[in-house]
Amino acid sequence: MGYIEENLKEVEANIQKACDRAGRDRKEVTLICVSKTKPVSDIRQAMECGQTYFGENKVQEIKDKTTEITESLHWHMIGHLQTNKVKYLPGRVDMIHSVDNISLAGEIEKQAAKAGLVMDVLCEVNVAGEDTKFGLTPDATADFIKEIASLSHIRVRGLMTIAPYTDDPESNRGYFRTLKSLMTDINAMNIPNISMDTLSMGMTGDYEVAIEEGATFVRVGTGIFGERDYSKKN
């Protein structure tokens, strides 16, 4: 058994245990295998283990990998997105997790309309207020969603956050709880077209805590594919 298969077994067991602790059905949580910087051969190994959700953070890598891998998979754009690159995504990805400004939302609307589809999106929220991270402040999120709610080629499915990098996953529990209550509060505003059901939160270091706090997507890279090497171009 290769290390990717072994890691996937371990991650799966951890997801199940977190669901059990929280009294949640395993089916409520979808594992996104974050394959950024990793070769197509790694993705194929994960596919052989039954994985169909893959997350990438660079448009060029999504273009390359979706060209090489023609099997039908669920590709998710999870990284910061520049407006001028949006045009490559409709038809290639199922969901964009990183919508945090009006001009980006407007461009997704335009490109999705052009492709004749409705794009599922999540609004990225910088819950911990880290300077280094993109995303809306929690306070600005409801108004932002009101502003984009009428765009007919965008479906706002929920919220996403990237919690601080930490050795102590418990320290992120409060951020995950905040994201969930923000979604509940915004749903309660009865904004036309807005009924969110998706929380993308939790990475290798903290996905179990995120599941306990209500994550529906966890984004796990290192825990499946091993450390990333940014020094060499793949």
Residue 214 or 223 with smaller CB distance to ligand PLP: 223
CA pseudo-torsion sign 203, 31, 125, 175: negative
Is 222 a binding residue for ligand PLP by CB under 6 A? The answer is yes
Mapped onto helix, strand or coil, the DSSP state of residue 154 is strand
Binding to ligand PLP by CB under 6 A, coded x per residue (else -) over 157-196, reads -----x----------------------------------
Number of residues located near ligand PLP, criterion CB under 6 A: 14
- Subset of residues 49 to 88 that bind ligand PLP, contact rule: CB under 6 A: 57, 78-79
Q: What does the block give as tokens for 207?
A: 């996905």
In whole angstroms, the minimum distance from the beta carbon of 15 to ligand PLP comes to 13
CA pseudo-torsion sign 72, 197, 13, 77: positive
Percentages of the chain per state (helix, strand, coil), in multiples of 5: 45, 20, 40
The number of C-alpha atoms within 13 Å of 91 and in the hemisphere containing its C-beta is 10
In whole angstroms, the minimum distance from the beta carbon of 225 to ligand PLP comes to 8
Residue 73: CB atoms within 10 A of its CB come to: 18
- Subset of residues 113 to 142 that bind ligand PLP, contact rule: CB under 6 A: none
For residues 58 and 36, is the Cβ–Cβ distance under 8 A? yes
Applying CB under 6 A, which of residues 141, 157, 204, 209 lies at the interface with ligand PLP? Answer: 204
Mapped onto helix, strand or coil, the DSSP state of residue 153 is coil
Is 45 a binding residue for ligand PLP by CB under 6 A? The answer is no
Applying CB under 6 A, which of residues 34, 59, 89, 196 lies at the interface with ligand PLP? Answer: 34
In whole angstroms, the minimum distance from the beta carbon of 161 to ligand PLP comes to 9
In whole angstroms, the minimum distance from the beta carbon of 77 to ligand PLP comes to 10
Is 202 a binding residue for ligand PLP by CB under 6 A? The answer is no
Residue 126 or 151 with smaller CB distance to ligand PLP: 126
Decide: residue 2, CB within 10 A, 0-12 exposed, 13-18 middle, 19+ buried.
exposed
- Backbone phi, then psi, for 233, in 5-degree steps? -80, 135
Give the binding site for ligand PLP (CB under 6 A): 34, 36, 57, 78-79, 162, 203-205, 219-223
